[in-house]
Amino acid sequence: MAAAPVASTSSTPEPSAGPRQPKEDEKPLDVSILKELARKALVDALNSVNGVKTLVLDNALAGPLGLVTEVSLLKHHGVDKMFWLEPGPLSATTTNIVYLCRPHISYVRIIADQIKRHGRESQKHNYTLFLVPRTSTLVSRILEEEGVLGDITISSYNLQFIPLADDVISLEHDTAFKEIWADGDETIIYNSMLALMKMQSLYGVFPRLVAKGDYASRLAKLLSKNLQTSALDSPNSLLRIMSEKIDSLIIIDRKVDMITPLLTQLTYEGLIDELIGLKNSHVELPMSLLNPPNAPNQPAAAAPTSNAPQGGTSLMKEKKKKHHLTTATDPLFAELRDLNFSAVGKKLNQVARRLDEDYKLRHQAKTVAQLKDFVGKLGGLQTEHQSLRLHTGLSEMLVPLTRTDVFNKSLEIQQNLLASYDVNGQISAIEELIAQGADMQIVLRLLCLASIVAGGIKTKTLENIKRELLQSYGYNYLPLLLTLASPPLAILLPNPLPASAPAAVAAGKYPYTALRRSLRLLIEDADPLEELENDVSYVYSGYAPISVRLVQCVAQKSGVLSNPAGEKDKKIAAGDSDARPRDATGAPKVQAHPIVGWKGFEDVVASIPGETADIVQGVPGQKDAPSAATLMLPKEQTTTTVVFFLGGCTYTEIAALRWVGRQTVGRRMLVATTGMVSGESVVASVADGGAAAAGPAEVGI
């Protein structure tokens, strides 16, 4: 079902997917079926309302929906006009009005308001409300309180995991982090459970659940409990069969590793997210980058109104257009996305040269047959050409942004803090950034990072810097500071803690310095970057995300202790390197070991705050769970380990996990998440609770 990459028609000498070209026996788990399900559910929902309809859409859903459907599909199923769900009057010409939104109270009140307004103007409409992903008592209650419950039909549109790439699926619920850790609203945990149940019903039962973190463990327990009860309701489903393709589900909640999102992501895709912004895999780019003479895949959503000036001096100021960054239409992106940004230039250069040579082939074409052959390849070359143009342009946009004073200072502070080098000096440096008027989110990220790695900031210093913050950015950020300081988040703490601090806060102190050693977080030796790329730490130029190390504790134990690829020199010297399968780069691959939970790392894992869970799932209805021994038998076929990030994950973590997957034979990684996050989105979403009320919420897209 997966759409074949457009460029597969071009038989360039190098395979476009690079070293990850799957072999026959390691076909990745087909996740495109999830997209089909989401699409079909949408069509069914729309068709249940007869006739033409006006669709009123929750802004936060537009992105996720864009990943599963096109506007033409909506039109095809009777959608006449579309509006954003925004306060204010709604003028619809059709009888049917269909609302599609997440069950947020603010939306419900807008809807109620619009219905009441129509009532006053005595307009007759049929209202249908589709809630994503399921109906909600709360919504009906509020509609009842507003007195419009009788006028509206409430139903649900079950939008769950959306594939972002062939190894990444996401619920695209952007506010998950804030809801769990700032509001204490666990709805997303339950919804994640339902989504994971759906996965189990498609691919079979996850044989083992491994979780770290209070909420992750809660999710694991909910999941295994729910499996037992719901499998009985559906006797013939896959819920009664142990999955052959999936060997385990690892759940990590964001609180377990708060450090990673606070850092600046240094991979290509991560940096785009940090500096330009990636939302639902879409990035806003200047038109000139996207409008080549023969653009092959124009998203139908946005119609260009005017032609941007070609070769404009400042790309950033040009008219913007959303572009879907995906490897399906852009083969080059697959090669670039996970590279450390410092290596991107070299790669682009390499591709450009390769392309140039390919074009030159036409000069060698002597016979008509050869010429025909070349013309056949031309389409692929042009796609690649356009792709190259896009990424060169994008890199050009990024470079000046990485040269700014603030960017480099903040990087420096991050690296120093990670090494626990002169913490007090770093805090002064942060203060300096405030004085310079750096972005609030950058300052807060660094401050939280300092608090976590140093186990708190001296009370006096902290109060001082908080005061600076409030004076500079506004007193309305006081609630945000309080949220960051109080449990369950507690990532901005004084040291020593006040005596009155809840026990949970004291217990939640992060043992960063110990972890740095035990999980080999910092690669200290200043190797050139090529060498660094042999460890997951390349994604942060020398720092390995704790979350990824934790996954390695389960799925690639040797990778935690030593660099699997780093040993290649010794192996070659010993002469036994041929015994192992190698990937294209020549690094030896390690045969995947069976999943045995946290074994070997129990102490390290226990030292990190948050509950730990390790559940061997039995097939419901059968009394005897499979013994751990049978699970440990190495399987013949390649299995997939699903890693679920509760509260969101960063692009760097995905890149690092892909790296882990590449290093092992017989195991692939599938990343599942509630959404993509970055330090900026984390800070912004938590701030949203209090401060954003000051002005109207930003209405984008």
Partner 1 sequence: MDRQEHPTTTWEAMQDSTVFYRKQQVYSTPGKLPNLGDFIIAGCRYGGPLALMRDTSKLVALGSGTAAFAKAQIQVYSPAGEVLLLFSWDQGKIIRFGWTSDEKLAVLNEEGTYRLYDLQGDYQQYSLGADAAEVGIIDARIHENGLVALTGSLSLLEVKGWEGGKPLTLASPGISQPPHAWAVIPPDLTISRHVEALLSVDATVYSVDNLEATDQRLSRGPFSHLAPSPNGKSLALLTSSGSLWVVSTDFQRSLADFDTSSFTTSAGEIRQVAWCGNDAVLVTFEHMALLVGPFGDTLQYFYSGPTFAITESDGVRIVGPDTCDFLQKVPVSTVSVFRPGSTAPAAILYDAWELFSKRSPKADESIRSIRPELAAAVNGCIDAAGDEWEPYWQRRLLNAAKFGKAFLDVYDATDFVNMGQALKVLNAVRFYEIGIPITYTQYTQLSPSQLISRLTARNLHLLALRISSFLNLQPSAVLKHWACAKILRSKPTSTSKETGVDDEVVCKSIVEKFETLGSAGVSYAEIAQKAWEVGRTELATKLLDHEPKSSDQVPLLLNMKEDRLALMKAVESGDTDLVYHVLLHLHKRLPLGSFFRLIEEGGPALALASKLLQVYARAQNREMLRDFYYSDDRRVDSAVLCLNEAATMSDPVAKTNEVKAAQKFFSEDKERTFEAKMVDENVRLLTLQQQLEKEADGKISFFGLSVNETLRTCLINGMGKRADKIRSDFKVPDKRYWYLKLHALTEVHDWESLDTFARSKRSPIGYQAFVQHLVEKGHTREAISYVPRCDSNKRVDLYVLCGDWRLAGKECKDRGDKTKMEELKRTCPNSLIARELEQFAASMK
Residues that bind partner 1 (CB under 8 A): 47, 50-51, 95, 104-106, 109, 126, 134-138, 141-142, 145, 150, 153, 183-187, 189-190, 193, 218, 222, 228-229, 232-233, 235, 405, 432, 434-437, 463, 466-468, 470-476, 478-479, 482, 498, 500, 621, 689-691, 693-694
**Half-sphere CA count of 299, side-chain side, radius 13 A:** 20
Q: 76 or 467, CB closer to partner 1?
A: 467
C-alpha triplet 214, 220, 224: angle, nearest 5°: 150
Q: Smallest gap, in angstroms, from Cβ of residue 408 to partner 1?
A: 13
Task: In angstroms, give the least distance from the CB of 471 to partner 1.
Answer: 4
Distance of closest approach, residue 425 Cβ to partner 1, in angstroms: 15
CB closer to partner 1, 150 vs 293: 150
Closer Cβ to partner 1, 155 or 342, answer by number: 155
Short-list 310, 375, 328, 18, CA closest to 167:
328
Structure tokens at 441: 């989110």
Of 437 and 496, CB closest to partner 1: 437
* 3-state class (DSSP) for residue 642: strand
* Minimum distance of partner 1 from residue 694's CB (angstroms): 5
Looking at the Cβ atoms of 26 and 151, the one nearer to partner 1 is 151
3-state class (DSSP) for residue 124: coil
Please give the full DSSP string across 8-73, using - where no structure is assigned: GGS--SS-TTGGGPPPGGGPPP--HHHHHHHHHHHHHHHHTS-S-EEEEE-HHHHHHHHHH--HHH
Nearer to partner 1, 173 or 668 (CB): 173
CB 403 → partner 1: shortest distance, Å?
12
Nearer to partner 1, 143 or 168 (CB): 143
**Residue entry with tokens 């139903």:** 155
C-alpha Rg value of the chain to the nearest Å: 26
Question: Helix, strand, coil shares of the chain as percentages rounded to 5?
Answer: 50, 15, 35
Closest CA to 626 of 635, 613, 617: 617
Q: Which is nearer to partner 1, 126 or 329 (CB)?
A: 126
CB of 495 to partner 1, least distance (A): 15
Q: State whether residue 425 is helix, strand or coil.
A: helix
Cβ distance to partner 1 smaller for residue 553 or 646 = 646
Half-sphere exposure of 104 (CA within 13 A, CB side): 17
In the complex, the smallest distance separating the C-beta of residue 428 from partner 1, rounded to whole angstroms, is: 10
Rounded Cα distance between 193 and 191, Å, is: 5
Q: How far is the CB of 595 from partner 1 (least distance, A)?
A: 25
Question: What is the nearest approach in angstroms of partner 1 to the Cβ of residue 545?
Answer: 28
In the complex, least distance from residue 549 CB atom to partner 1, rounded to whole angstroms: 28
Closer CB to partner 1, 422 or 432, in the complex:
432
CB of residue 474 vs partner 1: minimum separation in angstroms? Answer: 4
Q: Is 613 helix (H, G, I), strand (E, B) or coil?
A: strand
Residue type, 123: Q
Nearer to partner 1, 386 or 426 (CB): 426
> With contact defined as beta carbons under 8 Å apart, do 234 and 277 qualify?
no
Residue pointed to by tokens 């859409």: 57
Q: Which is nearer to partner 1, 109 or 354 (CB)?
A: 109
Indicate the residue among 15 and 474 with the shorter CB distance to partner 1. Answer: 474
Instruction: Give alpha helix (H) positions in 254-306.
Output: 259-262, 268-275, 287-290
Q: How far is the CB of 141 from partner 1 (least distance, A)?
A: 5
* Residue placing its CB nearer to partner 1 in the complex, 192 or 537: 192
Beta-carbon contacts of 260 under 8 Å, excluding residues fewer than 6 positions away, are: 545, 546, 547, 650, 652, 653
Strand extents, DSSP E, 157-267: 162-165, 168-170, 208-212, 246-253
Q: Which is nearer to partner 1, 26 or 186 (CB)?
A: 186
Which is nearest to 507 in space by CA: 487, 524, 537, 525? Answer: 487
Q: Cβ(640)–Cβ(668) under 8 Å?
A: yes
DSSP string spanning 139-180?
HHHHHHHTT-GGGEEEEE-----EEEETTEEE---TTHHHII
The whole-angstrom distance between residue 7's C-alpha and the CA centroid of its chain comes to: 25
Q: How far is the CB of 234 from partner 1 (least distance, A)?
A: 9
Nearest approach in angstroms of CB 219 to partner 1 is 8
What token pair was written down for 320?
């913007």
CB of 223 to partner 1, least distance (A): 10
- Least distance in Å: CB of 38 to partner 1? 21
Nearer to partner 1, 477 or 645 (CB): 477
Min separation Cβ 442 and partner 1, Å = 15
Min separation Cβ 221 and partner 1, Å: 9
Q: Identify which of residues 59 and 126 has a Cβ nearer to partner 1 in the complex.
A: 126
| Cα 107 from Cα 100, distance rounded (Å) | 10
Is residue 201 within 8 Å of residue 582, measured between CB atoms? no
| Contact predicate 665/639, CB 8 Å | no
Quickly list DSSP for 566-593: TTHHHHHHHT-GGGS-B-TT-PBPEEPP
Residues 6 or more apart in contact with residue 218 via CB below 8 angstroms: 186, 189, 611
Using alpha carbons only, what angle is made at residue 379 by residues 374 and 385, rounded to the nearest 5 degrees? 105
Closer residue to partner 1, CB minimum distance, 218 or 282: 218
CA distance 426 to 439: 17
Distance between alpha carbon 483 and the CA centroid of its chain, in Å? 24
Neighbours of 206 (CB within 10 A): 26
